[in-house]
Structure 1
Amino acid sequence: MRFAVSYSMAGFGTDPDRLVRYARHAEACGFEALYVPEHIALHPGASVGGGELPPSLPYGDPLDLLAFVAAATDRILLGTAVLLLPYHHPVVLAKRLATVDVLSKGRMRLLTVGLGTLPVEARAAGVDFATRGRRADEAIDVLRLLWAGDERGVRHHGEFFDLDEVCSFPKPHGAAGLPIHVGGSSAAAARRAGRRGDGYFPGGLLTPEERRRQLDLARAAAAGAGRDPDALEYTRWGSTALTPEQVDALAAEGVTRIVVSGTEEDLTAFAARHR
């Protein structure tokens, strides 16, 4: 089992000293990765998962935050949970992600993408909320195409994006592309993870049976797409109060990574308990 931490914008904000201190502490405790969330724009009354988001919450740009963390750390991997993919143009995003990966010497490896659940946020980004699933599918394809392309350029003519002899450099550090994990608790997210993702990171308040069905759906979608379902990583949210027995139970469900959030003291205690 691998363990990672999530940096809470609601709890900690965007204070640069706080962010660096937290990232360095997580790295010293032996955590694999640090994840940051994304919201491009909020509005009064915005609610996610039944919880209201104050419109003044300081959601920093996730890739800027991770580049800042990369400069202050040595080993910890960089992740998003989740980057709202439909609200980013893949040509711009491919370069930004590859740049962070190059500058961090190959640590931008836990990109998790999702669709977003706020129609007002979609409108603010100029995106039709109803098309965001198809837009995300196509954006994943375009990202991979651009990273794999050479000096001759790549072509893509889709529903949302049109490219003709487009080159994208720099490439990711020592790799033909970056892993893309898919977040979301819907059946569509599970299928997207299987068909296009390198990992599945469901959220939501699902029952154990619903989670089992979603993972089965992701693996079946991978097999149907001619991909290896056993290669699909399975990441879940967890609590710093998890016991070794509870971690073993999650591993038995197929979980390969647990992401927790808490104070530095919480992280220290969790790391000591799971060494």
Structure 2
Amino acid sequence: MKFGISYSTPYFGVDPDKVVAYAQHAEDCGFESLYMPEHIALYRGAKIGPMELPPSLPYGDPLDCLNFVAASTQRILLGTAVLLLPYHHPVVLAKRLATIDVLSKGRMRLLTVGVGALPGEAQAVGVDFSTRGRRADEAIDVMRLLWAGGEDGVSFDGEFFSFDGLYSFPKPYGVAHLPIHVGGSSRAAARRAGRRGNGYFPGGALAPDERRIQIELARATATEAGNSADTLEYTRWGSIDMSTDAVEALAEQGVTRIVVSATTADRDRQRDEMSAFAERFALTR
């Protein structure tokens, strides 16, 4: 089992010293990865399911935050949970991600993308909310094409994006393209993970039966698409006080990575929570 940790900018803030301290202690504790969330813009009445998001929550840009973290750490992998893919132009995004990967010497390896759930956010960036799934699919194809493209350039003609003879350098660090995990809480997300993803990271608010259906759907879709269901990573949210029995139960479901988060913005208590988790699961051994 791999263990990642999330830094929740809307609740912990974007103070640079706190972000660095959190990331460095997570690395010292032996966590595999650090994740950042994204919302580009909020508005009054914005809700994720029943939960209303206060519009003043300070969501830092996750890629800028991860680039900042990379400069202050050595080993910890960098991830998003989730990056709202339809609201980014894939040509620009491919360049940003490859640059972070190069500067971090190959640590931008846990990009998790979603399609977004706030219609007002889509409207704010000029995206038709009803097309966001198709845009995400096409964006994944565009980024992989650009990362793999060589000295002859690459061309693409899709529903949303089109270009001819395009070059995108630098390339990701030592790989043809960066892994892309798919996040979400829908069967459409599970199918997207199987068709185009290297992993599936479903949301936390799913009933056990639906959760089982979705991971089985992701694996079946991977097989149908000619991808390996066995190599599809399965990431789940956990709690920082979870027991070894709870982790073993997730492992029995095929989970390969668990991502937790500190429960407080207090720096000393964050350190204590991370240290206790690391000791409980022997992360530094």
User: Smaller-chain TM-score range?
Assistant: over 0.9
Q: Is the 8 A contact 2:204 2:237 kept in 1?
A: no
The unaligned stretches of length 5 or more in structure 1 are none
* CA apart distance, 1:51: 1.5
Q: Is the 8 A contact 1:49 1:204 kept in 2?
A: no
Matched AA of 1:272: E
- In the other structure, the counterpart of 1:144 is 144
How large is the RMSD of aligned CA atoms in angstroms?
Answer: 0.7
* CA apart distance, 1:204: 3.8
SS in 1 for 2:21: helix
- In the other structure, the counterpart of 1:120 is 120
- In the other structure, the counterpart of 2:239 is 239
TM-score normalised to structure 1 length: 0.99
* CA apart distance, 1:11: 2.3
Task: Report the Cα distance in structure 1 between the residues aligned to 2:204 and 2:5, rounded to whole angstroms.
Answer: 18
Aligned-pair identity in percent equals 71
Alignment: residue pair count: 275
SS in 1 for 2:164: strand
- In the other structure, the counterpart of 2:221 is 221
Aligned pairs (5 A) from 1:93-242? 93-242=93-242
Task: Report the Cα distance in structure 2 between the residues aligned to 1:94 and 1:247, rounded to whole angstroms.
Answer: 34
* CA apart distance, 1:258: 0.3
- In the other structure, the counterpart of 2:281 is 274
Q: Deviations over 1:220-268 (max 9, x none)?
A: 0000001110110000000011111110000000000000000221111
Greater mean alpha carbon deviation, residues 2-11 or residues 78-87:
2-11
Structure 1 runs of 4+ with >2 Å offset: none
- In the other structure, the counterpart of 1:28 is 28
Q: Deviations over 1:173-210 (max 9, x none)?
A: 01111000000010000000000000000004111111
Q: Deviations over 1:28-85 (max 9, x none)?
A: 0000000000000000121113212111111111110000000000000000000000
The unaligned stretches of length 5 or more in structure 2 are 263-269
- In the other structure, the counterpart of 1:49 is 49
Q: Is the 8 A contact 1:43 1:120 kept in 2?
A: yes
- In the other structure, the counterpart of 1:73 is 73
Task: Report the Cα distance in structure 2 between the residues aligned to 1:96 and 1:10, rounded to whole angstroms.
Answer: 22
SS in 1 for 2:151: coil
Q: Is the 8 A contact 1:184 1:204 kept in 2?
A: no
